[in-house]
Amino acid sequence: MAGVRVVSLVPSLTEAVAVSAPGALVGATEWCSHPEDLDVVRVGGTKNPDVRRIIGLAPDLVIANEEENRAPDLAALRSAGLQVLVTEVRDLPDAFRELTRVLAACGAGRPGWLEEAESVWGQLPPPGARLRTVIPIWRRPWMVLGRDTFAGDLLRRLGVDNAYATHAERYPRVTVDELRAVDPDVVILPDEPYRFTREDGPEEFTAPTALVSGRHLTWYGPSLAEAPAVLGSALRAACR
């Protein structure tokens, strides 16, 4: 599939395609921050892509995600005659499967970073004592990771159990008092989608807080190869 033209509406897939099929990407969202030197046409946000601009780029393929992108936008692209590949990721095996499918559709071979990521995650040592956590992803209102999330599965494999893993919703809204009442061993605060910082978030909790890279917690792409080390380091630092 030489010369395929790709527009990506998913930041993690943008990075995966950019490093695995150089030259294939012709468009990406404003939120596609990696690789840092990515030089392609920007086509709006993940939730509000510029459909006309995407159509004007005449891509052979648009890659999207059923959670990050809105169905009406994808339907509009399909109505214009574009091929749209939609991924669905709930856990690590899903991520590896979907990455393989996306990269094949973009004309890329199986990249070394994907082999490395599968090896790293497949050879994790057994975790020690397990930790109970809550993972806020937004503030005002507070929202947390609930059931069936990719990030929750990564943490589980690292020995960290999400207190909201059996909640009826995937991203429940909660009060900060409810979060405190859980009495977690550690509160995990990623820097995206809400940018928690040392000055914004930890002050609400008496439990230790781990400020973590959202890219390593929620993205499925090249960052997966280093995610266990990066996340593990942040957790150890918080729980000393």
- Using one digit for the tens of pLDDT, what is the confidence trace for 158-190? 999 999 999 999 999 999 999 999 999 999 999
User: What rounded mean pLDDT belongs to the chain?
Assistant: 95
Mean pLDDT of all residues in 199-227: 96
The whole-number pLDDT of residue 109 equals: 85
Q: Is 97 helix (H, G, I), strand (E, B) or coil?
A: helix
Mean pLDDT of all residues in 199-221: 96
Helix segments in 127-169, DSSP class H? 150-157
Mean pLDDT of all residues in 145-157: 97
The whole-number pLDDT of residue 144 equals: 98
Q: Output DSSP code: residue 197.
A: B
Residue matched to tokens 């929620």 = 218
Mean pLDDT of all residues in 123-133: 89
Give yes or no for residue 110 having a pLDDT over 50. Answer: yes
Give yes or no for residue 90 having a pLDDT over 80. Answer: yes
What residues are paired with 162 via a beta bridge?
133
Count how many domains the chain has.
2
**Is 91 found in the same domain as 10?**
yes
Give yes or no for residue 237 having a pLDDT over 70. Answer: yes
Give yes or no for residue 104 having a pLDDT over 50. Answer: yes
- Residue 136 contacts residue 179 (beta carbons within 8 Å): yes
Tell whether 119 is covered by a domain.
Answer: no
Tell whether 116 is covered by a domain.
Answer: no
**pLDDT tens string 57-76:** 999 999 999 999 999 999 99
Share of the chain above pLDDT 90, in %: 93
Distance CA 7, CA 217 (A): 24
**Is 100 found in the same domain as 38?**
yes
Give yes or no for residue 1 having a pLDDT over 80. Answer: no
Residues in the chain: 240
**Is 132 found in the same domain as 99?**
no
**Is 173 found in the same domain as 138?**
yes
Residue type, 30: E
Dig out the tokens for 80 from the structure: 């214009």
Share of the chain above pLDDT 70, in %: 99
**Is 145 found in the same domain as 103?**
no
- Residue 152 contacts residue 121 (beta carbons within 8 Å): no
Residue numbers of the domain that contains 76: 6-110
- pLDDT bin (cut points 50, 70, 90) of residue 2 is low
CATH of the domain at 69: 3.40.50.1980
Domain boundary among 49, 78, 110: 110
Mean pLDDT of all residues in 190-201: 96
